[in-house]
Chains A and B, each alone.
Chain A
Amino acid sequence: MKAELVCFWIAVGLYGVSTFSYIFGLIARQEKLFTVGLYGALAGFIPHTIAIGLRWSETGISPFISISESITLGTFMAVLIFLIFQFSTKKVRPLGVLVMPVVFVLIGWAGTLMKEIATTLAPALQSAWIWVHIIGASAGFGSVLVAAAFGLMYLLKERSSGGIANKLPELQTLDNLSYRFIAGGFIMYGLMIVSGAFWSNQVKGNYWNWDPVEVWSLISWLIYGIYLHLRITFGWRGRKLAWYALIALIAMIISYWGIPFSVETFHKGFRIEH
């Protein structure tokens, strides 16, 4: 088995440990298990990073193109954002209850879809815009996943009292944190769309073509745009937005990895097999 795959599956295993620690920690109300979960995530993040690095160094081609590579990067960014928040603030210990299971399921799915490393990069992808595009997309996903986790924390605190709920920050703080991460994700999705438009202009000469991938990215962006309008203009707060953040996450995962990769969309033009 290749070193890259060994690292990848170790990361999946450690994220699994982290996931179950968080879930059992929540069920059994054992705060220590959250610590195990957090360090499990940190331990998994190391081989996760190495696996990406090994894949990259093998051919020198950025390993963020296929669906499994895209998911691997998205989950990498989500764990990175989660770990930075956790180690810098230590405010919301059960936050991984949503983040880590989502990461675990997605990265496990990526493992089943993994293919050999591409030996060449398609000419249309040989553009500097791809970097801005994928950073925007993956950081956007990481942000809205963490935002949804704050939404879940809000609902947990609102519904139960005592134990873990007592150790969570105030409802308003959770609500504000969710909003901040959604605003950050909204900006990152904006960056993804803008860079995608420039990339499309470079390759096809038009910035927007209502291509399914473009429309799905617009859907994600509009969903969070509506969230911001509901909060800022209509004054929504608390429970309604917490639910919104959770439901929007599902739509986001579908729009990011579900459908765009299942249809042939980008540049069908090459007609000769060279």
Chain B
Amino acid sequence: MIRNIYKFLSSVKLAMALLVVILSCCVVGVTIYRGVEAGTHIFSTFWFNGLLVMLVVNVCFCFFPRILNRKLTLISLGMILFHLSFVAILGGIVFNSLFHFAGLIRLTEGETLPSGDLQSYDFAEQGRFFDIGKLRGDTTLIKMHVGHRVDGADKKVAYEISVGEGEAKKQGIIFITKHLEYRGFRYFCDREGYAVLIVLYDKMGRELYGGYYPLQSLRQEDGSYLYTTGTKDGPGSIAYPYDRPQPLFSLQVAYRPSKISERGGEAFFQVWPLTHEGERPEAKPLAEGKAALGEMFDAGDYYLSLKEVRYWTAMFVRYDPGLPIVLASLWVGFGGMVITFIGRMRRMRN
């Protein structure tokens, strides 16, 4: 039985079959299925990852026993390094999957969230043995810089952030090709949007409430963007004020940025009576209209005003202790290919 298993795993035909099957899966994953679907049906599945693991196991059983019995030459050295890199990559991936952390943290300018609280993240995943205590201190978005330039190169946007705790706190500017690292955690730019300060007034003009509302950036057919409340799938309304036990009405706000001044512009308000769980009825709105930044909009019993525009940003926070193993192995594998090539060319010449 064990002999048969060993025979199966050390078969060169198995290696070839696995390569062909993996290749076929890749072709299906970019033709029949695409994007998220390809991940769901192929690349993230247990069986596909099993095939990749099987390939590495096959390399161990099939390649190494054969090559290690041979005399060490430039060719065999290169091939050993090349195949060894696959084993090391798998080792790095497995190690990383057990100890990694990945989270998407969304902050409005000036906002601080505790890094170690998973509630701070829109999305978070971690390895089985990841110690959440490693995520210490807070994460703050100090400011988002538009038109940021480094050595004359336009980086478009950069986030000025601060992470950590106490004296070990680290502050820096990150942009698309530069991240910030703090105790092994890396902070990457992901995306950004507008957050508008919507203030509620009574009819006497007294300020009753104010809160920042992040807006979705929805791409229109003509290529322009609509910045509005809602979800990533389309515009929608919110119960306003959302953080009060008794919201007053259902509100949709759309913001049109000024082409002249940054953070200037006007807002479009639509107010509906609040229904069960903040749902918006299909009926006509109670009030609708627009108001420039700082101006008041008559919302029936109240006034509303778009008082300030800030940016929100989403950052990926990553902790990947297996990453150096994987990246180093890629170069080892590449070096192996080059050494084998040189060895074979020399042998052909001789």
Q: A residues within 8 Å of B by Cβ?
A: 120-121, 123-124, 126-127, 176, 180, 183-184, 186-187, 190-191, 193-194, 197-198, 201-207, 210, 212, 215-216, 218-219, 222-223, 225-226, 229-230, 233-234, 259, 263, 267, 269-274
- Chain B residues with Cβ below 8 Å from A212 are 30, 34-35, 38
Contact between B26 and A215, CB atoms less than 8 A apart:
yes
- Chain A residues with Cβ below 8 Å from B217 are 271-272
Contact between B155 and A123, CB atoms less than 8 A apart:
yes
Q: A186: nearest residue on chain B (CB-CB)?
A: B337
In whole Å, how far is A190's beta carbon from the nearest beta carbon of chain B?
Answer: 5
Contact between B192 and A272, CB atoms less than 8 A apart:
yes
Contact between B38 and A210, CB atoms less than 8 A apart:
yes
- Interface 9-mer from B12-20, B162-170, B291-299: B12-20
Contact between B177 and A201, CB atoms less than 8 A apart:
no
Taking A123-B156, A207-B327, A233-B15 as given, write out 6 further A-B residue pairs in contact, using a Cβ cutoff of 8 Å, ordered by the A residue number: A191-B334, A197-B327, A210-B43, A233-B12, A273-B225, A274-B156
Contact between B345 and A180, CB atoms less than 8 A apart:
yes
Question: Is B331 on the interface with A (CB-CB < 8 A)?
Answer: yes
Partner of B26, one of A218, A230, A269, A270: A218
Contact between B224 and A126, CB atoms less than 8 A apart:
no
Contact between B26 and A222, CB atoms less than 8 A apart:
yes
Contact between A223 and B177, CB atoms less than 8 A apart:
no
Decide: A271 near B193, CB < 8 A? Known: A225-B19, A233-B12. yes
Name the prevailing secondary structure of the A interface residues: helix
- Chain A residues with Cβ below 8 Å from B26 are 215, 218-219, 222
Partner of B146, one of A216, A226, A274: A274
Partner of B341, one of A184, A210, A273: A184
Number of contact residues on B: which range applies? 35 or more
- Chain B residues with Cβ below 8 Å from A176 are 348
B79-97 CB mask vs A (1 if < 8 Å, else 0) is 0000000000000000000
Question: How many angstroms between the C-alpha atoms of A189 and B334 in the bound complex?
Answer: 10
- Interface 9-mer from B117-125, B131-139, B183-191, B235-243: B183-191
Decide: A269 near B177, CB < 8 A? Known: A123-B154, A229-B19, A274-B147. no
Q: B150: nearest residue on chain A (CB-CB)?
A: A126
Partner of A203, one of B15, B39, B176, B344: B176
Q: B218: nearest residue on chain A (CB-CB)?
A: A271
Question: How many angstroms between the C-alpha atoms of A219 and B330 in the bound complex?
Answer: 17
Question: How many angstroms between the C-alpha atoms of A266 and B188 in the bound complex?
Answer: 15
Question: Is B175 on the interface with A (CB-CB < 8 A)?
Answer: yes
Question: How many angstroms between the C-alpha atoms of A223 and B23 in the bound complex?
Answer: 8
- Chain A residues with Cβ below 8 Å from B197 are none
Contact between A205 and B38, CB atoms less than 8 A apart:
no
Contact between B19 and A222, CB atoms less than 8 A apart:
yes
> A176, A190, A271: which has the most chain B beta carbons within 10 Å?
A271
Q: A129: nearest residue on chain B (CB-CB)?
A: B177
Question: Is B287 on the interface with A (CB-CB < 8 A)?
Answer: no
Question: Is B323 on the interface with A (CB-CB < 8 A)?
Answer: yes
Question: How many angstroms between the C-alpha atoms of A191 and B335 in the bound complex?
Answer: 10
Within 8 A of A (CB), among B302-347: 311, 316, 318, 320, 323, 326-327, 330-331, 333-334, 337-338, 341, 344-345
Question: Is B153 on the interface with A (CB-CB < 8 A)?
Answer: yes
Question: How many angstroms between the C-alpha atoms of A175 and B75 in the bound complex?
Answer: 20
> B31, B39, B320, B334: which has the most chain A beta carbons within 10 Å?
B334
Contact between A120 and B154, CB atoms less than 8 A apart:
yes
Question: How many angstroms between the C-alpha atoms of A205 and B96 in the bound complex?
Answer: 13
Question: How many angstroms between the C-alpha atoms of A126 and B323 in the bound complex?
Answer: 23
Question: Is B159 on the interface with A (CB-CB < 8 A)?
Answer: no
